[in-house]
Structure formats: structure tokens, C-alpha cells
Amino acid sequence: MSRAVLRFIRLSPTKARLIAREVQGMNAELALASLEFMPNKAAKIISKVIASAVANGDFEPEEVEIVSCRVDKGPSLRRFRPRARGSASRIMKPTSHIMVEVAPAGKEEEKSKKAATKKTPKEEKKAVKASTNEKKESTKKADTKESKPKTEKVPSNEDLKQLSGVGPAIEKKLKEAGVTTIEQIANMSKEEIAKLDEQIGIKGDIKETWQNEAKELLKNMKKDA
């Protein structure tokens, strides 16, 4: 990084800052090219300071960026003009101090990235609190999961809904027909199945699916017992 300073220049700081804001953060070569076509007095002076800053660091203009272009207020020169009836009016002629800093483009990008990722002490405290709260919540959840015993559903002989396609309505019809257990469906004969088909109005499901499923469920119940 290199810099150049121009002090006590006869220029208004408010006017010079308008140009300085436009140039700040730009590539030095691009800034010099744009300032050349500006009609302001400040543009010509600031372009000379930028060129001086680039030369002080032995850089090429296309290699560097303008990190900061600062305009500070200098002392004001007092002048007086004679007016009517022997009076005089004061004229203030302001001066400025211009400082320009340039740096290679890559280094400045790295600094800006570090500054963006850097956390303030308050943000760090908040992050630590959030992490501790998350850990506490996770441990609480783990404890509740461990404390709650797993309740597995034990298949019962009287639960007809275990058969595929049997809902509350069909279960009600089966009970009205006298079929209350899975064992009854498993041990039904062909004649009993035909009668049950007529009563319920479901053809084919008892023999093809329900009876086979009932037999498998009974086997599993015996194994569990």
C-alpha cells in the first residue's frame, strides 16, 4: 500500500468530496481516465494526487485500486471587501488536505473478506449462547426419548382390522354375521365362506386374501407367545 498527501490546496472541501466519493474503490487507471473528462477543478487536483500515490509505490495504474480518497478541511483564508458607508464584508477562502491511498487489488479483496467474516464480541457471545441452547435442547430430547418406553402393538386374535381391506364398516358386518376372531376366518370351510360372502356382499376376498392372511397372523401369534 502507498499513499500521497496534498496539503493547503485552495479548494473547497465540500466540492472536493463530491469527486472523492466517486473515485473511491475504483481501479486507479479507470479513475484517472474518468477524472480527465470532468470539468471540475477538484477532478484535476485529485487525479494528480492519485498518480503520485501510484508512483510512490512503484505500481502500474491498472494493478491497483483506490482504497481511500479522503478530503479534510484546512484553515480558511480571510479576505475583506469594502462595502457601503465605510463597512467591509468578510470573504472566507477555504483550503483542503487531500490524502489518497492505493493498494493491489487482490490484497484489498482479502482484507474486505476477513473484515466481513470477522465477528464482533456481541455476535460471538450470541453465537456461543445459541450453540449452548441447542446442545441443551438436544440433550433434553435425547433424555425424553430414552425415558419413554417403546410400546409395540401386540397383534390380537380379535382385531379383524389387521386383514387387508377391513375397515370399521366391514368389521361391524363381520361381527353381526358372528365372525369375531381371526381364528374363525382361518378355520372356515368352503360352505361357511360362501354363506359369509352372501351376508356381507364381498366375493372372493375371504378365500383369496383374508384366509391366507389369517393363517399367517395366527402363526406369528403362536411364535410371539
pTM of the model: 0.48
Contact 102, 63 (CB under 8 A): no
Residue-level pLDDT at 164: 67
Which superfamily is assigned to 2-81+90-109 in CATH? Ribosomal protein L22/L17 (3.90.470.10)
Upper half-sphere CA count for residue 101 (Cβ side, 13 Å)? 6
CATH architecture of the domain with residue range 160-224? Orthogonal Bundle (1.10)
Residue-level pLDDT at 64: 94
Beta-carbon count within 10 A of 63 CB:
16
Residue-level pLDDT at 110: 59
* pLDDT tens-digit series, residues 181-215: 777 777 777 777 777 777 776 655 565 677 777 77
Upper half-sphere CA count for residue 216 (Cβ side, 13 Å)? 8
* pLDDT tens-digit series, residues 50-89: 999 999 999 999 999 999 999 999 999 999 999 999 999 9
Whether the pLDDT of residue 134 is over 70: the answer is yes
Report the distance separating Cα 186 and Cα 216, nearest Å.
9
The full set of domain ranges for the chain reads 2-81+90-109, 160-224
